[in-house]
Amino acid sequence: MTRKTFLAALALALAMVGTGCARSNQASVEIGALCYPTDDCTFSSTCSEVLLTGTLWVDLAATPVLVFPIQISNQRADNADVESGRVNTNNAVINRFEMTYQVSGSAIPAAVSTQTIIVPAAGSTVAGVTLIPVGAASDALAALPAGTVVSVQLKVHGSYQDGSEFETGEHPIPVTLQNGLFTGYACADPEQTVKSVCPNAGQTANVVCE
């Protein structure tokens, strides 16, 4: 089996623009690393590997959305107390992701992705976050020329199980638009064929050939 992340030649060159490194947002819930997609597209509580470039690409002519696995951490401690019978109320329940898009010379509508994700107290989880959902933002971004770099400003909203709400600061994720350039995947070994793609075709992905 051959495991390889396929990037179009131009996308690979442009992928070095920006770093997308994790940064503290001064909240108990923190957006962390971009995870390298796994062969079977399943994830545990942390990234098994991190996407080293920190930059994504997507061809919105090939796929109308951009989804990518991101590690999210909860800094609150587990406050369960066995002796008193108190249950833990510090798990974080994410209910939506909010994205704004910064593009030089263009005004792009903001977008919201409604997703329910639980991040355990003093722990983390890897979530497939929809960074560009179907809608006005996707339509506007799809109209931009290939090579355009978009800074996706990601913010997380939700509540803890004690009822208190949280909102993270904005976390920038650079995305290079390859609109109209994606032509499919080819295996390095001509005797092999593409078995699976994670998360989706037409974007930064792990492609398995065999």
pLDDT (tens digit per residue) in 35-68 = 999 999 999 999 999 999 999 999 999 999 999 9
**Which two three-digit tokens encode residue 170?**
């904005």
Q: What percent of the chain has pLDDT over 90?
A: 87
Q: What percent of the chain has pLDDT over 70?
A: 87
CB proximity list for 185: less than 8 A, separation 6 or greater? 6, 194, 197, 201, 207
Residue 9 DSSP SS3? helix
d(CA 151, CA 21): 13
Cβ atoms within 10 Å, residue 47: 20
Question: Could you tell me the pTM of the whole model?
Answer: 0.86
Domain boundaries, the chain: 2-209
CA 184 to chain centre: 21
Q: How many residues are listed for the chain in this entry? A: 210
**Which two three-digit tokens encode residue 181?**
């350039």
